[in-house]
């Protein structure tokens, strides 16, 4: 199983943006000649390129950070013994891996669609970024919620593996069981994505104003990490509630569960798991945004026959 996952992960990293013919070596003069006065390469992306780039970015980033996600879930789940072995950090990796790719495809395709619609209406800035990030997260939730239910129950030792978990969930709770905690999940994911995209866009704008230069790929990774970290801290209480609902250690609505946690365990419990959450989401935001740009630029440059550096 591990070998298959590693092979598929390698394919995602190396195969998505691979040329069928040997790549052309571009000189500095070629790059300068091909570079437009004002690059707007994202507007030239095809729908299939959005799907491929989004799929690869989310899938690779989420799978690479899975061990940290296991730690976060086990810290937040009520009544779970804190015993860790090497195999513990692979719990739930199958649904994490196989469903992250279609979730990423839906998220970024919806995000780019929303960006195009807002651009047509001349709506730009923080408000547009928040709205587009939210729309992308809502689209991905169709896959993200079932992924989270199966994955977190495996991580919390409720199911021995994903296949058995799928069978048990379907037989005991029916199709609706795959969407248990849906409201709590989107109440966390939608604001986190909206805030992350907005913080990232604003950080790039501030960077350009301060330095007079566009951030490099490495600097974008750092800015993405800061954006993801800030959004993660803000949304941690909702994440705790979502974990309790999905693992079956609590029931009811978001507010009632939150009130129960404060009453029975103290307000500090709402921030439980904040460090592994930040450790997971900060690099997740950095990798997802950075890889998406890299994959997308490569795909567009190959189709247009221009160097990546010109975009």
Q: What is the per-residue pLDDT across 149-160, written as a single tens digit (0 to 9) for each?
A: 999 899 888 899
Neighbouring residues of 199: CB distance < 8 A, sequence distance ≥ 6: 226, 227, 230, 231
* CATH, residue 83: 1.50.40.10
> What is d(CA 300, CA 53) in angstroms, rounded to the nearest whole number?
10
**What separation, in Å, do the N-terminal and C-terminal C-alpha atoms of the chain show?**
39
Q: Is residue 2 part of a domain?
A: no
Neighbouring residues of 17: CB distance < 8 A, sequence distance ≥ 6: 52, 56, 294, 295, 298, 299, 302
Q: 109 exposed, middle or buried (CB, 10 Å; 0-12, 13-18, 19+)?
A: buried
The total number of structural domains in the chain stands at 1
Structural domain range at position 58: 42-310
Task: Write out residues in the chain with pLDDT < 50, as ranges.
Answer: 3-7, 9-24, 26-38
* pLDDT tens by residue, 68-119: 888 878 877 766 666 677 788 888 999 999 999 999 999 999 999 999 999 9
Q: For position 199, what pLDDT does the model report?
A: 93
Mean pLDDT of the chain: 83
Q: Is residue 284 part of a domain?
A: yes
Q: How many residues would you count in the chain?
A: 311
Cβ atoms of residues 96 and 69 within 8 Å: yes
Q: For position 204, what pLDDT does the model report?
A: 87
Cβ atoms of residues 54 and 108 within 8 Å: yes
Cβ atoms of residues 116 and 44 within 8 Å: no
Q: Is residue 122 part of a domain?
A: yes
Q: Is residue 19 part of a domain?
A: no
Q: For position 6, what pLDDT does the model report?
A: 45
> What is d(CA 60, CA 10) in angstroms, rounded to the nearest whole number?
9
Q: For position 19, what pLDDT does the model report?
A: 38
User: Exposure pattern of 13-48 as b/e (b: 16+ CB <10 Å)?
Assistant: eeebbeeeeeeeebeeeeeeebeeeeeebbeebeee
> What is d(CA 57, CA 288) in angstroms, rounded to the nearest whole number?
5
Q: Is residue 8 part of a domain?
A: no
Q: For position 144, what pLDDT does the model report?
A: 94
Q: Is residue 7 part of a domain?
A: no
> What is d(CA 219, CA 224) in angstroms, rounded to the nearest whole number?
8
Q: Is residue 184 part of a domain?
A: yes
Q: For position 17, what pLDDT does the model report?
A: 42
Q: Is residue 161 part of a domain?
A: yes
């Amino acid at each position: 199983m591990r070998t298959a996952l590693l092979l598929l992960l390698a394919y995602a990293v190396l195969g998505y943006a691979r040329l069928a013919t040997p790549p052309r070596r571009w000189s500095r003069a070629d790059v300068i000649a091909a570079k437009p006065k004002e690059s707007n390469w994202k507007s030239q992306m095809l729908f299939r390129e959005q799907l491929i780039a989004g799929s690869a970015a989310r899938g690779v980033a989420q799978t690479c950070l899975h061990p940290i996600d296991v730690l976060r879930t086990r810290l937040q789940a009520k009544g779970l013994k804190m015993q860790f072995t090497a195999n513990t950090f692979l719990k739930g990796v199958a649904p994490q891996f196989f469903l992250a790719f279609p979730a990423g495809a839906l998220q970024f395709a919806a995000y780019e669609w929303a960006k195009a619609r807002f651009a047509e209406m001349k709506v730009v800035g923080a408000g547009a970024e928040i709205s587009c990030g939210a729309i992308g997260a809502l689209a991905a939730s169709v896959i993200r919620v079932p992924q989270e239910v199966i994955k977190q129950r495996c991580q919390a030792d409720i199911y021995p593996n994903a296949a058995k978990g799928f069978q048990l969930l379907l037989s005991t709770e029916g199709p609706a069981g795959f969407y248990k905690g849906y409201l709590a999940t989107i109440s966390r994911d939608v604001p986190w994505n909206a805030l992350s995209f907005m913080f990232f866009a604003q950080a790039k704008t501030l960077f350009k104003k301060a330095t007079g230069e566009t951030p490099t790929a490495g600097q974008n990774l750092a800015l993405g990490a800061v954006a993801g970290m800030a959004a993660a801290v803000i949304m941690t209480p909702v994440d705790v509630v979502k974990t309790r609902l999905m693992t079956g250690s609590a029931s009811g609505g978001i507010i009632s569960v939150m009130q129960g946690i404060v009453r029975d365990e103290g307000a500090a419990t709402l921030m439980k798991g904040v460090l592994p959450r930040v450790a997971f989401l900060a690099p997740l935001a950095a990798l997802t945004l950075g890889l998406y740009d890299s994959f997308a630029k490569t795909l567009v440059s190959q189709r247009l026959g221009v160097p990546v550096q010109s975009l």
